[in-house]
Every structure is written in C-alpha cells, then in structure tokens.
C-alpha cells in the first residue's frame, strides 16, 4: 500500500510491489489475483460486516434507517484511522480502473443485503420485487457520494454528517418532501414501514 500512496496506483507495477515485498512476480500472484486485491481485499469482508450489521438492526426500524445504521461499522473503521482511509479514497478517485473494481465488488454487498431488506419490506419474492435492490443500491450510492465529498474536503468535513446528508437528500426529494422534517434521519422520526416517508 505504501508504494501506491507514494507513486499512485496506476504508476505502480506488480514487479515493483513484488520487489518491495521481497518476493518474485510468480509468488505475488499466489497471494493476489491482481494488484486491485491489495487495495480492495477488505471490501468483501466489509460487505459481510455491513450485511451482518443490517440483520442486527431493530425489527421495527424503518428500512432506510436500518440501511443507514448498517454502515456504522464502516464509519467506525474510518474514524479509527482517517488518514489511511482518506489516502485510499483519494486513490479510488485518481484511478478509474480501481474505482470500477470497487463498484463491482459492492454489487456483491447488494446481493448480501437485499434478502434482509426484502424480509423487512414483506416482499414475497426478492428476485421479482425491485424495491429491495433499489433501496440497497441507493444507500450504497449515498455512501460512495459521502466518501467522495469527504475525500475532496481533505477530511475537513465529517464523513458521518456527509452520509446523513446524502441519505436525507433522497428522503427530501421523494414525493415532494423537500420541506418535510418528519421523514428525515437526523430528526429521529421514523419513516413508514415500507421505508418511504
């Protein structure tokens, strides 16, 4: 990772990484399929943590609130080492191929999270109901938007606040709710059981 931070992701080769680690190129590929895996190796694990956090959210909690709460483990991880995660966020912004790989891995998050959202919505068949996947995809998009703005601000803005802003923006725009404070996450007042205001 240090080479990526110093040289940039696209400017760092597999040969340089292997050399810095004291291994051959062949040995490198025994541990990693691509250099993306060095940066994004934890994304799959984090997806499991988010999915587990979602399952443990209160049953009576509205879906959108449960999705927001499911991201708490990621926010805590970032708060524990903000400089490192800021460097990773910048790397994602600067390397389109890496960002594409990250988004691809986040599709697996959706697959893990959709069943619980479908259950909360009372969907008889998640595969034939667009609502669970739409809600999960929107929540992950809010997380990515918050992270991008946090990175652009050089950590001068608070990531948790940015995530709440992003998720509240969707609530505000649904059904002409721009001036409805009763639906917003930060106001502590819940949405309806369907997950909508």
Q: In 3D, which of 44, 47, 26 has the Cα closest to residue 36?
A: 44
List per-residue pLDDT tens for the chain, 197 residues long.
Answer: 677 777 777 777 888 878 887 888 887 777 777 777 777 777 788 999 999 999 999 999 999 999 999 999 999 999 998 888 888 888 877 778 888 888 888 899 999 999 999 999 999 888 899 999 999 999 999 999 999 999 899 889 999 999 999 999 988 877 555 555 555 565 443 344 444 44
Host domain of residue 28 = 1-32
Provide the CA 112 distance to its chain's centre, in angstroms.
13
76 and 164 part of one domain: yes
pLDDT at 85: 83
pTM of this structure: 0.77
Give the pLDDT confidence score for residue 191 in this predicted structure.
43
Query: Tokens for 136?
Result: 């999960």
- At 16, which CATH number? 1.10.10.60
CATH code of residue 128: 1.10.357.10
Phi, psi dihedral angles at 159 (to 5 degrees)? -65, -40
Residues 80 and 113 reside in one and the same domain: yes
Token pair listed for 153: 């601000």
- Evaluate whether 184 touches 190 at the Cβ level (below 8 Å): no
**Cα distance between residue 197 and residue 190, in whole Å:** 8
């Amino acid at each position: 990772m240090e080479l990526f931070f110093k040289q940039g992701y696209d400017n760092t080769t597999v040969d340089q990484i292997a050399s810095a680690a004291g291994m051959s190129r062949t040995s490198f590929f025994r541990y990693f399929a691509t250099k993306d895996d060095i940066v994004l190796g934890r994304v799959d694990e984090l997806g499991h943590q988010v999915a587990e956090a979602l399952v443990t959210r209160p049953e009576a909690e509205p879906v959108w609130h449960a999705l927001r709460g499911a991201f708490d483990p990621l926010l805590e991880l970032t708060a524990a080492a903000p400089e490192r995660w800021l460097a990773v966020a910048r790397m994602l912004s600067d390397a389109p191929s890496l960002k594409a790989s990250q988004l691809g891995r986040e599709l697996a998050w959706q697959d893990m999270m959709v069943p619980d959202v479908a259950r909360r919505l009372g969907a008889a068949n998640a595969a034939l109901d667009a609502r669970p996947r739409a809600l999960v995809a929107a929540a992950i998009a809010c997380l990515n938007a918050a992270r991008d703005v946090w990175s652009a601000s050089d950590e001068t803005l608070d990531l948790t606040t940015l995530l709440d802003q992003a998720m509240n923006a969707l609530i505000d725009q649904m059904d002409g709710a721009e001036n409805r404070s009763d639906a917003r996450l930060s106001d502590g007042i819940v949405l309806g059981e369907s997950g909508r205001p």
